[in-house]
Structure 1
Amino acid sequence: MSVQVATVKMADMELKGVNSERPSEGLSLPAIPAVPAIPASVSPIDPESSPIPALSQPMKGAPASAMKRTDPTQRPKDGGDDAGSPEGAVSEAPRTVKKIQFADQKREFNKRPTKIGRRSLSRSISQSSTDSYSSDSSDDETSPRDKQQKNSKGSSDFCVKNIKQAEFGRREIEIAEQEMPALMALRKRAQGEKPLAGAKIVGCTHITAQTAVLIETLGALGAQCRWAACNIYSTLNEVAAALAESGVPVFSWKGESEDDFWWCIDRCVNVEGWQPNMILDDGGDLTHWIYKKYPNMFKKIKGIVEESVTGVHRLYQLSKAGKLCVPAMNVNDSVTKQKFDNLYCCRESILDGLKRTTDMMFGGKQVVVCGYGEVGKGCCAALKAMGSIVYVTEIDPICALQACMDGFRLVKLNEVIRQVDIVITCTGNKNVVTREHLDRMKNGCIVCNMGHSNTEIDVASLRTPELTWERVRSQVDHVIWPDGKRIVLLAEGRLLNLSCSTVPTFVLSITATTQALALIELYNAPEGRYKQDVYLLPKKMDEYVASLHLPTFDAHLTELSDEQAKYLGLNKNGPFKPNYYRY
């Protein structure tokens, strides 16, 4: 028997003639809606004449839900005057009310959901806030490796979650194209020349709408592409389906196992009658796999383009050991990658990822950010602006001094690990957060990674018999200690923003354009220009990529006069800064 019904019956016994019940007030709670030297072979594009598509990107929102609440303490009012006033003629009855037993409700709340029930509950919670169409559109648990799928052209040279999602993925790609003006301008300008004709590019990056625009641009420039994902959680299934439908051999789906991950990379590389001559990598896993399994392929590979801290570190290790057998382009340390993708992208996506997965409020929360490089700077700035108390850990005294001058307290992780509410890693290193740190965290502490590799947090140490893992929603796990303490681990220690949220398309346009130009440069470079080493991008390429994006803001560059250029010792058309300049 509900509280309200019981109250009404008591009132009927006490007050004769009182039978009108006050209607409950409804409270509507809407759900919160939830990657690149001017190549010698390519002449500069005039930004002024480059077509800039209209920028209009509709926001995707989850369906709103409404919840009705009724206050059980509301007493029904009489239809007459002043039924409850002191002047009323009705005296109050003695307060001898029997305790109301909520047997049905108690029994209901004490029920523990079954395994299937928990899975269903987790899925229903996550649909409106953390998952894209790809992960909630089908309950099919069959592994894509076990499916026989063909696209509309009859090709089965792909492996995705569901090829039927291609239409939805195409819409997302079209939206992304509107926010990637430089890639679209490059596609229109260079597709007549086909600077990548004959290129066979094997790629391993995040498969999102933005990288799909890059892949299709490479195809428009003459390249043949085969693609796999560099992260088991970041793939948008509908985008992978759209690429497969358009004829790109793509092998990826969200939620791959470790075995699936390497299987997908192998399917991209090990193809009869097709051998790659260019590599586009993010993290170095693809390069590592070819070195390990198919080293003879490097006899025909012209170069590697790498865009992540982890992947670049691996390349420098190979170079130092004398094992790097092709030229490699370090896109990660280009200005356009560091200052825009790493800084501005992470400044926005850190909040998006945390909010979607935890629904938390940031004001007053104590946060420690491990690493104050460009990613760390972006995360700290965003959290500080939201009212969080932010601590920073750092090994580099220069970055450490920057953190202090920006108003953040520099600490060792051990000093604050017991008190902080959120721990964020942004280092590209390993074992930044160890099992010892995890043991000392307070109950409910949120742990996540904004670097690259999932080795920054020692997640492997948490997979022990004494700890219990509980899936709360998509990409959110409670790790529970024997004493009941629990931490909230996001994306199993993998990239938070690309696993649990979205990233700003415009910023990724800058990185993707840099990657495309780096591929063009390495592929068309005459023999001998690049040796078997790791190269930074020339300043001219960074300036060129930036200039392609300025028209979006209706920005107008000032031009040097001949006298000014002579005074500064510069070419009027750039580069305007030496390679050692730090922006």
Structure 2
Amino acid sequence: MDNYDVKDMSLAEGGRLRMEWAAREMPVLASISERFKKEQPLKGLRISGCLHVTTETANLMTTLQAGGADVVLTASNPLSTQDDVAAALVSNFEIPTFAIKGETNTVYYKHINAALDHKPHLTMDDGADLVSILHKDRRELLDNVMGGTEETTTGVIRLRAMAHDGALTYPIIAVNDAMTKHFFDNRYGTGQSTLDGIIRATNILLAGKTFVVVGYGWCARGLAMRARGMGSNVIVTEVDSLKALEAVMDGFRVMPMMKAAKEGDIFCTLTGDLNVIDKHHFEVMKDGAILANSGHFNAEINIPALEEMAATKRLVRPFVDEYTMKDGRRIHVLGEGRLINLAAAEGHPASVMDMSFANQALSLEYMVKNADKLENTVYGVPQDIDLEIARLKLEAMGVEIDTLTPEQEKYLHSWEQGT
């Protein structure tokens, strides 16, 4: 193969072994892969994926390949690539991969365009960068595309905005909105992997620290739960009154960001929005404050403002930039403000990505079967797919549940019987 761009092909064997390790925790995807091999539902279709290049993603790619697809993969974040996995996809599976951990923004977009050169029939996105560039700069390719999927909250927000403006030219399934995705991947996966990234980057003790969770969506709920479990005093900031009320009822302190900025030792943003930690917050933070982000883009912390305010900046540990303010206070930003769970750690555990990527595979199959019936908008994952993934996961875990009797089914669908 000569159609790829990875850091070091000599890393391939280590990546293959780590893919194998992750696959042990992905039984649902494995069962789908076996069926795909027999039925070939994606035969002859070109798929361009813009996803975090991890062991779990690699196992999704091989599942799609088993289903007959011609797959190309590029990174959805400049710091999220696992270089050994990228090499393994090329060397062991002949999947063209364009991803290097730490790549510049210029190279990042060059790689996305390389994936689009594949002339995809289907797109897979994690943040909607590929879809956005396809619609803005590569419109000559749009006639080939029958549909796509989106993995993240941030990407779904962007795509719904495109659909609202009439800019979206093909249907997208919001994998992020599946119950078996956001209930588990977002809450348990992000909760654990975000703390993992913060601890790996800093080696700090969380017990006794004041930990500010910025936002209270599913990802933030998971992080708040895990930070409390590690002994932190957790503060939640929100702009949504319902989510703020839920955080209060879950036992967390809730306050405006300006007040939390004065109290926090560690801050982590998970909102999908812009500048949620801003200049006026930096001005009141404690000496030694630690800032991280676990939302998709590195826009949640206003790093350009911090750069302007700081007297000096230095890298004090891998993934830890120390900004010394003019008054001597030090503020630390982890992973350049990018996804800390992938910048400094390995991302979500494979067992939760098993369900998320099962949603990806089955949603693509659904799209192939139904694209001609769908409008150019964003759809949720069909409920029968969601329920089937939950059933397969329980089966793989050896968990049995009850089923309704005919009498119970009838009762739930009737109105005649009362007290």
d(CA) in 1 for partners of 2:36, 2:407? 34
Taking a change above 3 Å as real, the CA distance of residues 264 and 526 of structure 1, as seen in their structure-2 partners, is closer
1:249 aligns with 2:249: no
551, 560, 563: which is aligned to 2:407?
A: 563
> Pairwise mapping of residues 107-256 of structure 1 onto structure 2 (< 5 A)?
155-245=1-91, 246-256=93-103
Contact 2:50 2:75 in 1 (8 A): yes
Amino acid at match of 1:447: L
Tell me the equivalent position of 1:386: 230
The Cα shift of 1:179 comes to 0.5
SS of corresponding position for 2:94: coil
1:161-186: CA deviation from partner (whole Å, max 9, x where unpaired): 00111111100011011110011111
Amino acid at match of 1:453: F
1:30-55: CA deviation from partner (whole Å, max 9, x where unpaired): xxxxxxxxxxxxxxxxxxxxxxxxxx
SS of corresponding position for 2:283: helix
SS of corresponding position for 1:192: helix
330, 341, 350: which is aligned to 1:497?
A: 341
Gaps of 5+ in 1: 1-154, 571-583
Could you say what the CA RMSD is over the residues aligned between the two structures, in angstroms? 1.3
1:172-201: CA deviation from partner (whole Å, max 9, x where unpaired): 011011110011111112211100012110
When Rg is computed on C-alpha atoms for both structures, the one with the higher figure is 1
Contact 2:146 2:371 in 1 (8 A): no
Taking a change above 3 Å as real, the CA distance of residues 442 and 465 of structure 1, as seen in their structure-2 partners, is closer
Amino acid at match of 2:90: A
The Cα shift of 1:513 comes to 0.4
Higher helix share: 2
1:242-280: CA deviation from partner (whole Å, max 9, x where unpaired): 00112111000100011110011111112xxx4211000
TM-score (norm 2): 0.96
Contact 1:229 1:252 in 2 (8 A): yes
> Pairwise mapping of residues 451-470 of structure 1 onto structure 2 (< 5 A)?
451-464=295-308, 466-470=310-314
d(CA) in 1 for partners of 2:311, 2:76? 29
SS of corresponding position for 1:448: strand
SS of corresponding position for 2:243: helix
SS of corresponding position for 1:172: helix
The Cα shift of 1:473 comes to 2.4
273, 276, 279: which is aligned to 1:435?
A: 279
> Pairwise mapping of residues 169-568 of structure 1 onto structure 2 (< 5 A)?
169-245=15-91, 246-270=93-117, 274-464=118-308, 466-502=310-346, 503-525=348-370, 527=372, 529-568=373-412
The Cα shift of 1:284 comes to 0.7
Tell me the equivalent position of 2:417: none
* Structure 1 outlier segments of 4+, above 4 Å: none
Amino acid at match of 2:105: E
The Cα shift of 1:526 comes to 5.6
Amino acid at match of 2:52: H
Amino acid at match of 1:329: I
d(CA) in 1 for partners of 2:358, 2:215? 27
Aligned residue pairs, count: 412
Taking a change above 3 Å as real, the CA distance of residues 423 and 466 of structure 1, as seen in their structure-2 partners, is closer
SS of corresponding position for 2:113: helix
Contact 2:75 2:98 in 1 (8 A): yes
Amino acid at match of 2:24: Q
The Cα shift of 1:462 comes to 2.5
d(CA) in 1 for partners of 2:215, 2:207? 22
Which deviates further from its counterpart, 548-557 or 457-466? 457-466
The Cα shift of 1:465 comes to 8.0
Contact 1:391 1:409 in 2 (8 A): yes
The Cα shift of 1:216 comes to 0.6
SS of corresponding position for 1:464: helix
Contact 1:199 1:523 in 2 (8 A): no
1:348-397: CA deviation from partner (whole Å, max 9, x where unpaired): 11221121111111111011111111111111111111221111111111
Contact 2:86 2:99 in 1 (8 A): yes
d(CA) in 1 for partners of 2:370, 2:314? 53
TM-score (norm 1): 0.69
Higher strand share: 2
Amino acid at match of 2:289: C
1:61-109: CA deviation from partner (whole Å, max 9, x where unpaired): xxxxxxxxxxxxxxxxxxxxxxxxxxxxxxxxxxxxxxxxxxxxxxxxx
Contact 2:36 2:63 in 1 (8 A): no
d(CA) in 1 for partners of 2:237, 2:286? 19
Percent of aligned positions with the same letter in both sequences? 38
d(CA) in 1 for partners of 2:403, 2:250? 33
Amino acid at match of 1:375: C
